[in-house]
């Protein structure tokens, strides 16, 4: 999920143009506070940068921007929530090391069909520095890890839940492209607040079904959801990934339809079905292979490991048993007892560098020594087969959908609790500047 999200984000971010502000004015802007968040602040300069990015993002998605005052509110709310979450990440010890950040930068560059020098040049042309981009990316990854950590503590999926889920969801083979609009409810909301939120949601639905209103624009203007400034775009989702009250309604909707107002603990929701499609069967090419692993350490260098494996490979080619050599020499003790056998390997189950070498081999061939993050290997491919793993895939997907369903609700509730427990003082209007 992470890089799919970042791919959309970088496209919008690269549209941002640096605002032309005189140096003396810029220095003055840095001292202006637009929000106090616990012991931290949001500066006007940060707000202006985020506002520019939001306008570019909406334009890139061809979504009409909300009225200026509502756009400013959405952007400031997003910055406040970002501050609260980063503070929570700091308290929880969530960190992003430089190696992870380097890999993420390379991945985003590849997603934009650029090498690192070209990516750096593209950022500079758009008024961004690599250091500034890395810091934005670090924040994105930090929040992803924080959410995962918080949800791991709140969500548990049992085998019995998966069984029940698979028996109940007849629509599991259908995927929906959705937009979402949320009118949030505060915790322990009064009957008056609940009715007011319901009336607002019903009013928005009347605007949508009247034929003139655009869902993406209304979401960007009025939604309290995390995807508001993306026009409420949720991408492709299966019914099982959504709260049960929502999942049961999707089968009746056609592309272009808007759901009734739906109530969950986090508030009142509207969904629009942009498109729907049948999920394909999951057929993969599996490889039966075996390997010998030599790990490096203070005593065994890379050169030593490579030399040993080259000698072992030559012995196999000369007629000795691969299995016996694996039992005697491999540092992968689990496979060594099986003569180095890895069984039938499904794509994605091995380290990427191992899988790349293995996939290039013809049945019967033995690789040259190569390195993965686990050490140095030689691998031999026995055979390949096409395997229909649809049922296994569906069960794995069911577990993911159940988790996604729970996360959708739990994350909204967790963020709401984080916000309600914080001290936040909005001061944007006092600045008299946009």
Long-range contacts of 162-167 (CB under 8 A, 24+ apart): 162/395, 162/398, 162/399, 162/402, 165/240, 165/398, 165/401, 165/402, 166/394, 166/395, 166/398
Task: List, for residues 401-420, the tens digit of each pLDDT value.
Answer: 788 888 888 888 899 889 88
Please give the average per-residue pLDDT across 97-116, as a whole number.
90
Q: Which domains does the chain have, with CATH numbers?
A: 2-150 (1.10.4030.10), 170-281+402-424 (3.10.50.40), 283-388 (3.10.50.40)
Q: Is the pLDDT of residue 15 over 50?
A: no
Query: Which tens digit of pLDDT belongs to each residue from 324-368?
Result: 999 999 999 999 999 999 999 988 889 889 999 999 999 999 999
pLDDT computed for residue 10 by the predictor:
45
Please tell me the distance from the alpha carbon of residue 316 to that of residue 379, in angstroms, as a whole number: 11
At 386, is the secondary structure helix, strand, or coil? Answer: strand
The pLDDT of residue 169 is: 58
Mean pLDDT of 52-72: 89
Q: Is 47 exposed, middle or buried (0-12, 13-18, 19+ CB in 10 A)?
A: buried
**247 confidence band (pLDDT: 50, 70, 90):** confident
Residue 170 reports pLDDT greater than 60: no
Could you give the strand order of the β-sheet that contains 375-388, starting from the edge strand earlier in sequence? 341-345, 283-294, 375-388, 370-372
More confident of the two residues 250 and 372: 372
Q: What is the DSSP letter of 346?
A: P
Q: Is the pLDDT of residue 97 over 60?
A: yes
| Rounded mean pLDDT, 316-322 | 95
Helices (H), 63-190: 68-92, 98-111, 116-125, 130-154, 159-168
Quick one: pLDDT band at residue 243, thresholds 50, 70, 90?
A: confident
Q: Tell me if 250 sits within 8 A of 273, measured CB to CB.
A: yes
Whether 22 shows a pLDDT value over 60: the answer reads no
Mean pLDDT of the chain: 85
Does pLDDT of 21 surpass 60?
Answer: no
**CA pair distance 40, 14, nearest whole angstrom:** 28
Average pLDDT estimate for 184-190:
86
In contact, 395 and 162? CB cutoff 8 Å: yes
377 in Cβ contact with 309 (< 8 Å): yes
Say what the pLDDT of residue 412 is.
86
* Interatomic CA distance for residues 56 and 157, integer angstroms: 39
Euclidean distance between CA atoms 351 and 354, whole angstroms:
5
- pLDDT mean over 86-96: 92
Query: What is the pTM assigned to this prediction?
Result: 0.53
């Amino acid at each position: 999920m992470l890089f799919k999200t970042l791919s959309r984000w970088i496209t919008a971010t690269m549209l941002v143009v640096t605002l032309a502000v005189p140096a003396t004015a810029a220095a003055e802007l840095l001292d202006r506070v637009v929000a106090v968040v616990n012991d931290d602040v949001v500066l006007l300069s940060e707000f202006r940068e985020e506002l520019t990015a939001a306008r570019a993002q909406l334009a890139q998605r061809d979504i009409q921007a909300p009225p200026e005052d509502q756009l400013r509110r959405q952007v400031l709310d997003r910055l406040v929530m970002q501050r609260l979450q980063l503070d929570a990440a700091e308290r929880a010890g969530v960190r992003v090391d430089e190696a992870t950040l380097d890999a993420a930068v390379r991945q985003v560059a590849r997603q934009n069909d650029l090498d690192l020098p070209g990516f750096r040049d593209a950022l500079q042309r758009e008024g961004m520095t690599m250091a500034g981009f890395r810091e934005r990316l670090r924040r994105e990854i930090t929040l992803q890890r924080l959410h995962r950590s918080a949800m791991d503590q709140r969500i548990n999926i049992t085998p019995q839940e998966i069984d029940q889920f698979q028996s109940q969801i007849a629509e599991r083979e259908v995927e929906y492209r959705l937009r979402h609009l949320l009118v949030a409810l505060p915790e322990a909301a009064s009957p008056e607040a609940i009715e007011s939120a319901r009336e607002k949601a019903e009013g928005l639905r009347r605007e949508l079904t009247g034929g003139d209103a655009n869902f993406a624009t209304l979401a960007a203007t009025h939604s309290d959801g995390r995807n508001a400034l993306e026009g409420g775009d949720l991408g492709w989702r299966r019914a099982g990934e959504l709260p049960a009250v929502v999942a049961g309604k999707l089968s009746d909707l056609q592309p272009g339809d808007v759901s009734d107002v739906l109530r969950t603990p986090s508030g009142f929701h509207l969904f629009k079905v942009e498109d729907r499609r049948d999920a394909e069967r999951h057929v993969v090419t599996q490889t039966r292979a075996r390997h010998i692993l030599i790990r490096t350490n203070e005593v065994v260098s890379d050169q030593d490991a490579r030399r040993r494996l080259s000698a072992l490979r030559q012995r196999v080619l000369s007629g000795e048993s691969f299995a016996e050599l694996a039992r005697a020499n491999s540092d992968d003790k689990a496979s060594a007892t099986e003569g180095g056998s890895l069984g039938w390997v499904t794509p994605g189950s091995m380290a990427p560098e191992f899988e790349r070498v293995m996939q290039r081999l013809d049945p019967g061939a033995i690789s040259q020594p190569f390195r993965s993050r686990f050490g140095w290997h030689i691998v031999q491919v026995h055979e390949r087969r096409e395997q229909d793993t649809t049922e296994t895939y569906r069960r794995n997907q069911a577990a993911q959908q159940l988790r996604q369903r729970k996360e959708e609700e739990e994350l909204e509730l967790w963020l709401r609790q984080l916000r309600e427990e914080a001290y936040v003082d909005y001061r944007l209007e006092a600045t008299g500047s946009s």
